[in-house]
Structure 1
Amino acid sequence: MSIKTSKFTKEHFTTDKAKFTEKFNNLFAKRIPFVFIIDYNVNNLLIEKITDADDKGISFIFPGLKNISDIDVSKNVNLSICPPSYDKYLRGFEIVRKNLLEGNTYLANLTFKSEIYSSLSLKKIFHKSKAKYKIKYNDDFVLFSPETFVKISDGYIYTYPMKGTVVAGDKNAAANLMEDEKEIAEHLTIVDLMRNDLNMVSSEIEVTKFRFLSEINTGNRQLLHTSSEINGKLTKYYMENPGEAILKLLPAGSICGAPKKRTLEIIKTAENYNRGFYSGIAGVYDGKDIDSCVMIRFIEKNSGKMFYKSGGGLTVYSDPKKEYEELVNKIYVPVN
């Protein structure tokens, strides 16, 4: 089986991780604000001073920091979507399920891309969307992510894995989400994984908030998500070399699964496509703190067509029909 690749304009990216981390650590030490983008496979890395970001085609709006102001886009976002067939999804699901039953993975995040159609450009979608984290890179991709990856502040590192989704309009939606056996197992697994990941770069790991709810307006429905907050005290080495700490934690646990190495192999086979920058990470440094997000809620433009990439976590309790519905429900542009 051949794997289709995405074609991004990558002239500002490097494949040299050492070069990336050196620039990251130097700018951090000099307290020079910067923005960075890293793809899912950690093969393409970009880091630019915020003062240079616009010239390199990067637009971003993060909490408390941005390099562009939103403009009013009066036209509604109408997406026509063509998700993968249920049969195609089921083939990938069964590959993951087999490995779940054999104990090769305990949680695997299965994703697919869906062709979408919209009268709006990526630029207009960027400005129309409402999200905690927004990024557009040239005319290649746009994302409006609700999920924090890590924050680094005053020698501490924080992560906020988001696992568990339900349509908020359903009867007793919040209670059903909080009590669902599959959702609990999924969230416990990802919290344990992220605790272990933080342990590679920090000590005194704590889960300070466990399974708190957040709500997102997709335009035609509300979605509820559960997240947790985990933090640790960076070791002396990683306090001085935060770029290496970031890379050591990749790919982000919430978009692959556990155990991470084996699960990455399983989902590569099950998905049969390259995620590209989808489910990578992006972040900013404001001269004091680092904030970053997982690049989900993601639209890519390729050969004149637009594709939305989405998915969800699978456990042995997963129902394929419900998981397929979740994948489709995540295809939206948040507008409120």
Structure 2
Amino acid sequence: MLIVSGGFFCKSWKLYQLQIKDIKFYNSLEDISKEDGFFVFSYSLSTESIGVKVKGSNLPKVIFVKIGDIKELRLTYKPVSLEILKFSLDKKAYIQRVKEIKKRIEEGIIYQLNLSTKIDFFLKGQPLDLFLKFFQTQRTPYAFFLDLGDFFIISGSMELFLQKKNNTIISKPIKGTAKSEKKLKESLKDKAENLMILDMMRNDLSKIAKVGSVKVEELFKIERYSTLFQMHSTVSAKTDAEFEDILLNTFPPASVTGAPKKKAVEIIDLLEPHSRDYYCGCAGFRWGKDFTLSVLIRTAFGTKDKLSYFAGSGIVYDSQEEKEWKETLSKVQAFYSFSSF
């Protein structure tokens, strides 16, 4: 079963169910299907794209779904609940690692880094109902539910990694999260972080762009969601590059790694005890030479009644450890509501 939010191919955020005609798995970007359809790319492909070995698992690095008919879906969810089993990084461990990151920033090794924790849950109910509840709690443009029988992925992403139409490509990296729009607008820390990631995305796109075509379309735009506010900027370029070459030059997404990207990915793998797998990868549709890919934030995956959800925050020199932990938990609120944080 594949259910997606309409943001992938239209302005509507309604849900649509897509007929699955075939499923294929790949472990390299160079081997992926040339057919049109839906793709999921694991963060572990960073080893191929930037040459940094990262933790992985036995999950396929690329999932390809060949699709058929599309129909609008209107479903209500049945009762479902989650029980927390464990955090890969609890509050104490997370704060300790934030301090380590700030030390590396002070030493000039990196400028910014995205640190995440993995939360393991026991699911009481069905994965589809969990997805529907998640989506109805916080509607997002790039949500999807992919059920492969013995394995499922749930995403409530609101972040556009890459979209290509004809020879124009755009990216809308998100950096900046707050419960208050006013605080986000006034936050110099979030604006500095947003600008840093925007510059990284400009640099990534320049590798596949026509000379002089990279430009900033939007800066520090704030969008409201049911549980939080997010800040994004938009960069565009002109390109004739092929799908695989674009991914090899831009993956993993800048907003979920850090600056400089290669060194940030190395440190992430050192400090995070978990493998990210599909979290912080990307997913979406390719139609001919055009495509739309989301960043796999607000994402969970698992089997039957066990699943893992991931959340993180961007660390810069003036980050406050306690606030970074609270921001991380705020990104879980639509999926699992903490009574207090």
Instruction: Give the root-mean-square deviation of aligned CA atoms.
Output: 2.3
Question: Is the CA contact 1:108–1:267 (under 8 Å) kept in the aligned structure 2?
Answer: yes
Deviates more, 1:297-306 or 1:262-271: 297-306
What's the counterpart of residue 3 of structure 1? Answer: none
Mapping for residues 39-54 of structure 1, pairs under 5 Å = 39-42=42-45, 44-51=61-68
- Structure 1 position 310, deviation (Å): 0.5
Mapping for residues 152-171 of structure 1, pairs under 5 Å = 152-167=164-179
Cα separation, 2, equivalents of 1:99 and 1:89: 15
Mapping for residues 278-297 of structure 1, pairs under 5 Å = 278-287=279-288, 289-297=290-298
What's the counterpart of residue 141 of structure 2? Answer: 132
- 3-state SS of the aligned residue for 1:124? helix
- 3-state SS of the aligned residue for 2:297? coil
What's the counterpart of residue 6 of structure 1? Answer: none
- 3-state SS of the aligned residue for 2:26? coil
What's the counterpart of residue 330 of structure 2? Answer: 329
Provide structure 2 residue ranges, at least 5 long, that are not aligned to the other structure: 1-22, 48-60, 337-341
Cα separation, 2, equivalents of 1:114 and 1:68: 33
What's the counterpart of residue 315 of structure 1? Answer: 316
What's the counterpart of residue 108 of structure 2? Answer: 103
Mapping for residues 95-244 of structure 1, pairs under 5 Å = 95-128=100-133, 129=135, 130-137=139-146, 138=148, 139-167=151-179, 173-203=180-210, 204-217=213-226, 222-234=227-239, 236=240, 238=241, 241-244=242-245
- Structure 1 position 120, deviation (Å): 3.4
Residue identity matched to 2:98: F
What's the counterpart of residue 8 of structure 1? Answer: none
Residue identity matched to 2:26: T
Q: Deviations over 1:154-200 (max 9, x none)?
A: 20110000010001xxxxx2232122121111111001100000101
- 3-state SS of the aligned residue for 2:76? coil
- Structure 1 position 117, deviation (Å): 4.2
Percent identity between matched residues is 27
Q: Deviations over 1:254-285 (max 9, x none)?
A: 10011000010111111121101111000102
Residue identity matched to 2:202: R
- Structure 1 position 224, deviation (Å): 0.3
- 3-state SS of the aligned residue for 2:24? coil
Q: Deviations over 1:101-126 (max 9, x none)?
A: 11111110000111234433222222
What's the counterpart of residue 55 of structure 1? Answer: none
Residue identity matched to 1:306: L
Residue identity matched to 2:252: P
- 3-state SS of the aligned residue for 2:117? strand
Cα separation, 2, equivalents of 1:111 and 1:296: 11
What's the counterpart of residue 247 of structure 1? Answer: 248
Q: Deviations over 1:218-260 (max 9, x none)?
A: xxxx3000001100010x4x0xx22221232100101001100
Residue identity matched to 2:182: A
Provide structure 1 residue ranges, at least 5 long, that are not aligned to the other structure: 1-10, 28-32, 52-65, 168-172
Deviates more, 1:73-82 or 1:281-290: 73-82
Cα separation, 2, equivalents of 1:76 and 1:330: 22
Question: Is the CA contact 1:70–1:127 (under 8 Å) kept in the aligned structure 2?
Answer: no
User: Which has the larger strand fraction?
Assistant: 2
Question: Is the CA contact 1:38–1:281 (under 8 Å) kept in the aligned structure 2?
Answer: yes
- Structure 1 position 70, deviation (Å): 3.1
TM-score using structure 2 length: 0.78
Mapping for residues 256-295 of structure 1, pairs under 5 Å = 256-287=257-288, 289-295=290-296
Cα separation, 2, equivalents of 1:200 and 1:270: 29
Cα separation, 2, equivalents of 1:108 and 1:278: 16
Cα separation, 2, equivalents of 1:147 and 1:181: 21
What's the counterpart of residue 17 of structure 1? Answer: 29
- 3-state SS of the aligned residue for 1:316? coil
Q: Could you say if the C-alpha distance between residues 105 and 77 of structure 1 is closer, same or farther in structure 2, counting changes exceeding 3 Å?
A: farther
Question: Is the CA contact 1:181–1:317 (under 8 Å) kept in the aligned structure 2?
Answer: no
Cα separation, 1, equivalents of 2:311 and 2:324: 11
Deviates more, 1:156-165 or 1:67-76: 67-76
Residue identity matched to 1:126: F
Aligned residues, how many? 289
What's the counterpart of residue 37 of structure 1? Answer: 40
- Structure 1 position 143, deviation (Å): 1.0
TM-score using structure 1 length: 0.79
